[in-house]
Chain A
Amino acid sequence: MTVLRLSGLSKSFGAKQALLDVDLSMEEGEVLALLGPTGAGKTTTLRCIAGLEKPDRGSVHLDNRDVTATSPRERDVAVVFEGFNLLPTLSVFDNIAFPLRSPVYRRPEDEVRREVAQAAATLRIGHLLDRRIEQLSGGEKQRVAIARALVRRPRVYLLDEPLSALDLKLRESLQGEIKAMYQATGATVIYASHDYPSAAAIATRMALIEKGRILQCATIGEIIADPRHAAVGRLVGSPSMAQFPAHVTGQGIEIDGLPMRLPGPGEAGGSLLVGIWPEDIELTTRPTDGYAEGRVWATDFRGRDKAIEVRVGSQRFRKVVELDLQAQQGDPIWFRLPPGRVFHFDAATGERIDHGPTRRAA
């Protein structure tokens, strides 16, 4: 059953186009990550769904009901904001109970106590219920904010960068708790984030947004197999897609500044962007035929493996390699882009184009 549908949603603030023709629909129990850089329109999208912002054009449907003109308190959605939306004047218990005591969602007091206790147990904050908000750490505050959203069992949860203010360790443990929370309740969740790993950890599907437009909305597997836009490649993956400016010559596609030629159309044509997932780039530490020489610019040790950044002229990419690969900072390294693994993007618009053999969708 379709719980949420956005059609042709547009919104501008003065001269800035915040959203442009956003279409999105979500099934019940789905967890959708809204992934995009800062200022891409994630928050505006969530605010339009919640009713805090009125779209210039387009509509919002919740449960096949047009709520575009409905006030926030009659939409039955819950939002967890990036900043903490908790009331410093109330205790943790009263903060979580707030929605259940409001005129719209009021419940009998014994039921409120039960629901709050249950939400607190889910997020493991049962021992904090008597505390005051200012006595909590950032991670505890965020759990309380999530519990406050959870306690009401709304139709849709909107999480706006709920974890970005937290340190890595807390983020990972809360990711697990959010996941457990929606798996237990079958909740429908939109999780807005600029952080690919946390989005990938939580979501079943991803909508990639940039400059107010949804570039692609698919499962992670589908995106990896078939990225629709160069910007999608830049947002997805850890490290993200390697992209090389290139030209179409009569003999194929030549990557700018590299002695590397990929199969392409017969006739010469303009410039394009060649993209490839770093996992598909082949590396070797010895000069090899058909490989281009680059230099290891930087290495990040990540415990069991390491990420290296390779540069050749103005071209560069990052790739995770085995720890024992002989690639220290400053070492030469040889790499190759297997022709069947690359994607072609229009250099100007970033749209996917097809210039001869590329990786096929699985």
Chain B
Amino acid sequence: MRQAIPASRATAHAVPKAISDRTICGLFMAPALAILILMVAYPFISLLYYSTLNFSILNPAKGSEFIGLENYTRLLSRESVWERFVFTGQFVLATVVVQFCVGVAVAYAFQRNFRGRDLLFTIAMLPMMLCPIVVGFLWRYMFNSEWGVVNYLVTLLGFVKIDWLGVPGNALWAVVIADAWMWTPFVILLATAAFRGIPTDINEAAEIDGASPFFRFTRVTLPMSMPILLIAFLLRLIDAFKQSDLFFAMTGGGPGSDTETVAFRLGKIAFSHFYTGQASAFAVIMLVIIIGLSLIFVRLLTQQGRQD
């Protein structure tokens, strides 16, 4: 080896400086960049392009007509579209709040040592691993107004049966419950990771300094796990905003189109009506909203990072 080193140095010197460092850098990055452009930029740009066309994939032969922003103006001037955004907003708010309240509380309870904790934790993680359509049908049966188990329990408690999926207000909550059932485990998982990352020293010091369990939770546990909880919140928010499978399985968007979420409506425009151009415009609007939400949270996260 000792002789090999000067030899390799000699060859390094022998390479003519024909290619600049920048070019070499570029060459090394080119394959990755090409893949990135192909995988990310192309679909996005084509989406933007389609959103300006009057075009349907059912009838490509008819060709496409450039109509500028007309797809956007037509969508945004329709009251039923705004109603979908309001409905989706209600759903997102309700399900994310429920998931976080239950998820953080359960994760906190899992911090204690008790018999069978690990087994229970594993079982608690299961709903997250199921397919959304399966979860949807599962809950659809459970919420069945005639023979569903939920209404059976309701009658046991002495109330009259509730039409869970046939009334828009009830259906919203039925799907919120199903969605929260499926995704609270995710919050539990991340909150548990966040809580376990807090050094025990800090909690013990707080306890010696007179902090009650509640005081420690609000002054130590929550602030210390905020970065991870914020990420979990962002992920759940985006996912809830895109929810359509559960509505598809549980209500089919009905009654009428009262329980269609934005993503559900998008699917309908794209694959029932086959207004490809308009669907593309709708997708762009959704994307802008999601990017906007994400930016808010990225800002929050970096602020948090600067504080820590």
Contacts and interface: CB of A to CB of B under 8 A. Distances in A.
Given A51-B208, A78-B208, 6 more contacts: A52-B207, A87-B223, A89-B223, A89-B226, A99-B209, A103-B211
B209 A102 contact: yes
Given A52-B204, A72-B204, A103 B223 contact: no
Contact of B210 (A79, A83, A88, A104): A104
A73 B201 contact: no
Interface of B: 199, 201-202, 204-212, 215, 219-220, 223-224, 226, 307-308
A71 interface: yes
Interface residues of A, number: 29
B207 A71 contact: yes
A77 B208 CA distance: 7
A338 B80 CA distance: 104
20 contacts: A50-B208, A52-B207, A72-B207, A73-B209, A73-B211, A79-B208, A86-B202, A87-B219, A88-B308, A89-B224, A98-B206, A98-B209, A102-B210, A102-B212, A104-B210, A104-B211, A105-B209, A134-B308, A148-B209, A152-B209
Interface string A89-105: 11000000011001111
A83 B215 contact: no
Contact of B224 (A72, A75, A78, A87): A87
Contacts of A89: 223-224, 226, 307-308
Nearest to A74: B210
A196 interface: no
Contacts, number: 74
A83 B199 contact: yes
Listed residue (A52, A90, A105) with the most chain B CB atoms within 10 angstroms of its CB:
A52
B171 to A, nearest CB: 41
B208 A52 contact: yes
B210 A73 contact: yes
A114 B226 CA distance: 31
B210 to A, nearest CB: 3
Nearest to B208: A72
A85 interface: yes
Nearest to A89: B223
B205 A79 contact: yes
A157 B224 CA distance: 26
Interface string A55-94: 0000000000000000111010111010101111110000
B210 A103 contact: yes
Listed residue (B206, B208, B224, B308) with the most chain A CB atoms within 10 angstroms of its CB:
B208
A73 B206 CA distance: 8
A261 B215 CA distance: 68
Contacts of A73: 207-212
B308 A85 contact: no
A78 B209 contact: yes
A88 B204 CA distance: 15
